[in-house]
Structure 1
């Protein structure tokens, strides 16, 4: 991927792929557990353009974006991005079919959302949902109303912050317990949405992707989260399974590192032999010592 600009990590057909572009072509590299990487970051950081279900469009102005943070789009491209427009309720009806989903991220962490039917389960994997199910389908206005109805009834949240998700990784219960909690929510939601104007999916499977995300045994008991990087920074080591947009890297020394790949978006990335990790801002994260202990160091 030498000389390319990173656009992000996304799931396609159940597989995580790191994508990059040279403005003429897009390159996608499959990310697999056990893969060894040696990356050097190059700048400046530029807008990654417009993301959507079709072919990505590069920023026509090649705008510079802030070197820190997870946002890699300039204001112009943000306004043109269909995904952001959908999230901000600026699209009323695009003629497509959408599905209403319920996702479980940990005990009591239940989310309701919608995704384009053409995307399959990609959005749930992008969000690193350990368990999920689909409960309805229909045109966007009806599915959005159903989403709001479930959220306003207090059955599930519309958003679960990344810090809350990752703090729950250390305490995921057994398979039967997590499936039971989601099944109970599904039953309540189906009762609530009867005659609500969408086609219900009463027998949608409860899909458990905990093992695929590498969370069957939880995350490492201690690791360092990468909070910043810039030109000249290096990343080297062995990858664990991708968790949504996040990668655990086991370097030769110093213990595991957690990388939110959105920090890489917009930077140039050169692949090659790298001796170790350097030029990174790091924050220590450790397993909570008890059930009532909160963890503020994550995300």
Structure 2
């Protein structure tokens, strides 16, 4: 039997998206490449916890197939306890940036990321367009993020299902895609109450449509809901955004959230079967952003 591989997620280095594997290897992803694998399962044919902070899960606990985190309760708690999002790193000496990210009409969020990471966080989130807002210490960046959430009525997160729903109907021009950001950026930098230690940055939109391969991509007809032991995935890569792979299959374009791969043993595939559960992509094209949520 072929050796099973364990995926550790989709990464976005400067040269383009890659699938990372446990042990340090990676597979470059290019448009037109066939992505094919079978699902071997973990212990006893189930998905198992990936552990936390580089350490294995002691009991190798089973985790739900639909979870995008692939961690048991204890490992998820340990992982989050050391994250910027949990506000437990107040003494982090690294400089941070505040940004505005746009995912589609009516879908803009505010966030922060370490300066040393560059735009990687925006690529990982699937931001179609973004602009930096300010730069400074972590806690100043965090206070500014909260200020902008309240004043501009934009969230600090947007569900991936909503992001997927609008990718095939994005405005054609970069200027159109950046227009909503431009208005919000102007309002943001004009606000009073910014921490003195956070320097405002000028509006400079960065567009990711080309990096994601989204120009002219056919609308997705479905998305993978979960993997199952013995299942198979196969398709031609036509686009990638955030953790998602858009695969052309006999059923049409299907979206595979690569976070669903972690915790499973995966086998090389050479067929064209697609035998894992798929659900219809939610229609959010006419929805407007609802403020804070």
Per the normalisation by structure 2, the TM-score is 0.87
**Residues 195 and 127 of structure 1: is their aligned pair in 2 closer, same or farther, counting only changes over 3 Å?**
closer
1:126 aligns with 2:124: yes
Identify which of 47, 50, 66 aligns with 1:48: 50
1:220 and 1:123 map into 2 onto residues whose CA distance is 26
CA separation of 1:234 and 1:214: change in aligned 2, threshold 3 A: same
Aligned counterparts of 1:261 and 1:195: Cα–Cα separation in 2? 37
Q: 1:232 to 1:287 in 2, by over 3 A?
A: same
SS in 1 for 2:179: helix
Matches within 5 A, 1:139-158: 139-158=137-156
Q: Give the aligned partner of residue 10 of structure 1.
A: 11
1: CA distance, partners of 2:135 / 2:126? 22
* Residues 34-57 of structure 1: CA deviation (Å, up to 9, x unaligned): 111220111121222235xxxx44
Q: Deviations over 1:174-219 (max 9, x none)?
A: 32122222122111111115752233243352100112212223x4
Q: Is the partner of 1:12 in helix, strand or coil?
A: coil
2:253 to 253, 256, 262: 256
Distance 1:180 1:222 in 2: 25
CA drift of 1:155 comes to 4.4
What CA distance in whole angstroms lies between the structure 2 residues aligned with 1:43 and 1:109?
A: 36
CA 1:79–1:154: 2 relative to 1, 3 Å: same
Confirm or deny: 8 A CA contact 1:146 1:193 kept in the other structure: no
Structure 1's 14 and 59: CA in aligned 2 closer, same or farther, altered over 3 A?
farther
Aligned counterpart in structure 1 of residue 94 of structure 2, from 93, 96, 104: 96
Structure 1 residues 58, 119: CA separation in 2 closer, same or farther (over 3 Å shift)?
farther
Equivalent residues in 2 for 1:154-193 (5 A)? 154-173=152-171, 174-192=173-191
Distance 2:65 2:3 in 1: 20
The CA RMSD measured in Å over matched residues stands at 2.4
Q: Give the match's secondary structure for 2:19.
A: strand
1:98-113 maps to which residues of 2 (within 5 A)? 98-113=96-111
Instruction: Quote the Cα distance in structure 2 between the aligned partners of 1:275 and 1:129.
Output: 31
Q: Deviations over 1:149-191 (max 9, x none)?
A: 0001134221111222222223322321222221221111111
Aligned match of 1:203: 202
Q: Structure 1 unaligned segments of length 5 or more: list them.
A: 295-299
Does 2:265 match 1:265? no
